[in-house]
Structure 1
């Protein structure tokens, strides 16, 4: 069962276990759950998270209380489990707080509860050349919220997908991208046309082989999702190549931890310059999250500036960089497939490195359209669909 949603959130929280007892201690309140778990909650934490209408605006569900306005030595005057099974606290200053047991259990910070939350977090599913590519149908994604959710979960967990049955009229990409959220504009436009042209301001707009890379590593925040939609593909060559950057980073961590550490710690500058713009950003090739897991790969050799590291670090950086690039060329990691008209790739640009074989522009027309949607929008849409 789900308990009633507290004012503090739009979600509903499952009733994992009922509250059976509460004890007030000098600096905290200790609650006992029916399944035997004990969870301590410090007094400032409880007062800070009071979900009542005086502390949280019921329309926006955003907090209006600031903890600095509460006496630092505020203590409960009385605590109990009320008739609805909620934790009820009467504070010494006359304020009353009431905590739903589902919400309280979901936010408990005893060791067991925190470990449960860590274990329940989505995990990246690493892949290699044997990936069973997740494929989805355009019309189902446009019409069915459950199909849409399954697509977004695949993007979140695997970082690569294909959609088929997409209309081939220019601009059709906009509709499916907006099923997730708004499109992120860049200096290449809202939608960008991937075609060979004489006045190219990027190697992507040539017929050259395009090595494995992430798009816009020159930005403080690389785009999260990238869409590439095939409108016409009559040219010989031009196959798409993908590798899971997270899988390569994981293998590097296991096989060469010193190289892995160098790519996590030594920043590299990336530059994107043309006649009208000049973008530059410096960051390590591999970024870790707060728990030490790989969260981002930043790589585009054709946009890289000269290394700027200490005399001691320079040999380590070059060795690590060469090793990472060599691993992206290993057949065990590479997925290669030609995109046909009416198909599109959608992938996590901060995880999945993509490339293109050279093609012969004299052998036929080739026209792709692309766009970006930030990863935050993907994660937000998933949560809204799930609730």
Structure 2
């Protein structure tokens, strides 16, 4: 491969990312409806003319300030054909279109978006995958220093990647003061407000509007399954924990779902396809959501777990499906109780949990409010904000 000037690594009017040139353009073969591109590593990538014209990066087609497209493909003739194609001295693909338009494609950008089978498989393999875990994570739990996360972008990125890939992290040396959590959460992005407030206080209350605000044993659950979109990240900051009991318990919901899938695909399928109503009611609010307990993403992978038995309404399913639904539901909960999946640890003052609420189910053992004070503060940040912050830091 020829040496490339580093200044050419960035594609003009791209999307603030750089596109390394992993292979040079070495051959072009025009067919009736596409251009067959040959790369220096032997890969051949077909690009349809419609696709190439649709993705022209010139200033007439993309506004350079916002990097957003101006062209709508319907405004271009459906039967497109280039008058001339060539590879310029800098290795870019040049296309002169019939009608007088000119396009210039950076080879790094073009390779990164090629849609031949090998290129698509390559991109799929490079996508981050969740790292499933069980009780063994107790010995390997990622712990990060609060002040380092606030002050150092490298530490911030490592923390956020751990949250993305494992779904559970702990921060230490956090000042045990009310409101401190706001500064940390805003290090990522916007905080998601709910009917429980921007910050919510987790402590025993006489007039509780959630079981979380009692001293009862709180079973494994995800927060706010009653919402169309469950909060992504949840933070729990310990201000004081002098009470007897009240240990935190965590289970990787993706690991549970995968275990169920391996053990009984038919029961897994029932929890993916049966809608369950979750409800949260108080004097001033009434939230309800119909959704499956296990949700698959657009690519068919496990993307979300939704569970809170204490917020679940009666099952509503066809008569013939009800027995199997109960078998699936019982088995899912039984798996979460197996020691191999459970991480249990007491959170002390000055420590903080951050976890993916749409993946990791959390619980709290019963505590005795008469034995000492127990006060946590929490807040939510959506998953989109986590992923956006990671991408910006990785630039």
Q: TM-score, with normalisation over the residues of structure 2?
A: 0.97
Secondary structure of the corresponding residue to residue 141 of structure 1 = helix
Alpha-carbon offset, residue 162 of structure 1: 0.2
Instruction: Give 2:289's aligned residue.
Output: 281
Alignment of 1:1-387 (within 5 A): 3-131=9-137, 132-387=140-395
Q: How far has the Cα of 1:9 moved from its partner?
A: 1.3
State how far apart, in whole Å, the 1-side matches of 2:251 and 2:106 are: 45
> Deviation digits for residues 298-344 of structure 1, max 9, x if unmatched?
00000000101111111111110000001111101000000000000
Farther off after superposition, 302-311 or 4-13: 4-13
- Cα distance in 2 for partners of 1:288, 1:222 equals 14
Q: Which secondary structure state, in structure 1, belongs to the residue aligned with residue 340 of structure 2?
A: coil
TM-score normalised per structure 1: 0.99
Distance (Å, rounded) in 2 between the aligned partners of 1:171 and 1:106: 43
Residues 210-240 of structure 1, C-alpha deviations (whole Å, 9 max, x = no match): 0000000000100000000000100000000
Q: CA deviation at 1:348?
A: 0.2
Aligned residues: 387
Corresponding residue for residue 3 of structure 2: none
Q: Could you tell me which runs of 5 or more consecutive residues in structure 1 were left unpaired when the two chains were aligned.
A: none
Return the alpha-carbon distance in structure 1 between the equivalents of residues 161 and 13 of structure 2: 28
Q: Which runs of 5+ in 2 are unaligned?
A: 1-5
**How far apart in 2 are the matches of 1:121 and 1:298?**
24
What secondary structure does 2:149 align onto?
Answer: helix
Q: Aligned equivalents of 2:220 and 2:374: distance in 1? A: 20
In angstroms, what is the RMSD of aligned CA positions? 0.7
How far off is 1:4 after superposition?
2.2
Deviation at 1:118, TM superposition (A): 0.3
Write out per-residue CA displacement over residues 237-293 of structure 1, whole angstroms, 9 at most, x where no aligned residue: 000000000001111000111110100011100001100000000011001112221
Indicate if the aligned counterparts of 1:6 and 1:103 stay in contact, CA closer than 8 A. no
| Conservation of the 8 A alpha-carbon contact between 1:268 and 1:305 | yes
Q: What is the DSSP-based 3-state SS (H/G/I as helix, E as strand, rest coil) of the residue aligned with 2:65?
A: coil
SS at match of 1:51: coil
Measured after TM superposition, the shift of residue 297 of structure 1 is 0.1
- Quick one: distance in 1 between partners of 2:107 and 2:9? 8
Q: Distance in 2 between matches of 1:19 and 1:31?
A: 7
SS at match of 2:354: strand
Counterpart CA distance in 1 for 2:320 and 2:71 is 51
- What is the Cα deviation at residue 180 of structure 1? 0.5
Q: Answer whether contact 2:131 2:165 (CA < 8 A) is retained.
A: yes
Q: Deviations over 1:123-172 (max 9, x none)?
A: 10000001111100001000100000000000000000000011111000
CA contact (8 A) 1:241 1:335 kept: yes
Deviating above 3 A after TM superposition, structure 1's stretches of 4 or more consecutive aligned residues are: none
CA contact (8 A) 1:245 1:351 kept: yes
Please say if residues 189 and 386 of structure 2, whose CA atoms lie closer than 8 Å, have aligned partners that are also in contact: yes
Equivalent pair of 1:8/1:62 in contact (CA under 8 Å): no
